[in-house]
Amino acid sequence: MQFRHKTRDEPEINLIPFIDVLLVVLIFLMLSTTYSKFTELQVTLPVADTDAQRNDPKELIVAIGAEGNYSVNHQLLSERSLEAVTAALAEVAKGDKETVVVISADANARHQAVVTVMEAARSAGLNRISFATQSSSQAEPH
């Protein structure tokens, strides 16, 4: 009987084919990916000419402050709820469905405050809504 120990060769891992496959996949992904900017939103705002004034006597002006305070025809509302704004709009409009609601919001006012006024106008039956703007010559430089 022979009791010889067989010598085994240690297996080697060849990484070159693995690297080749990864490079091909990387090149494929680079060529098939489109790069676009999702973080940048280009918005062109309209410019209003305030020299041409409307002659609509049935205007109801709702002012929205930067803190979210509401004022209906220069009367400050004590509450900020939808129901309070709806009641104030209905009281000032006095059932006239042709009344135009002019929303004059501060530039730093929350979007939700403007949406609340629009919803209150709809609830009060006032369907004509306009937004107050300022001319470009009156705008403050940034």
Query: What is the pLDDT at residue 108?
Result: 83
Of the chain, the percentage scoring pLDDT greater than 70 comes to 73
Residues β-bridged to residue 62? 72, 103
Structure token digits, residue 56:
């609509």
CATH architecture of 59-131: 2-Layer Sandwich (3.30)
Q: Which pLDDT score, from 0 to 100, does residue 39 have?
A: 46
**pLDDT tens digits along 82-139:** 999 999 988 888 878 888 998 888 888 888 999 999 999 999 888 888 888 776 655 5
pTM confidence score = 0.56
Region 57-63: mean pLDDT is 83
Closest CA to 128 of 56, 69, 72: 56
pLDDT at 127: 87
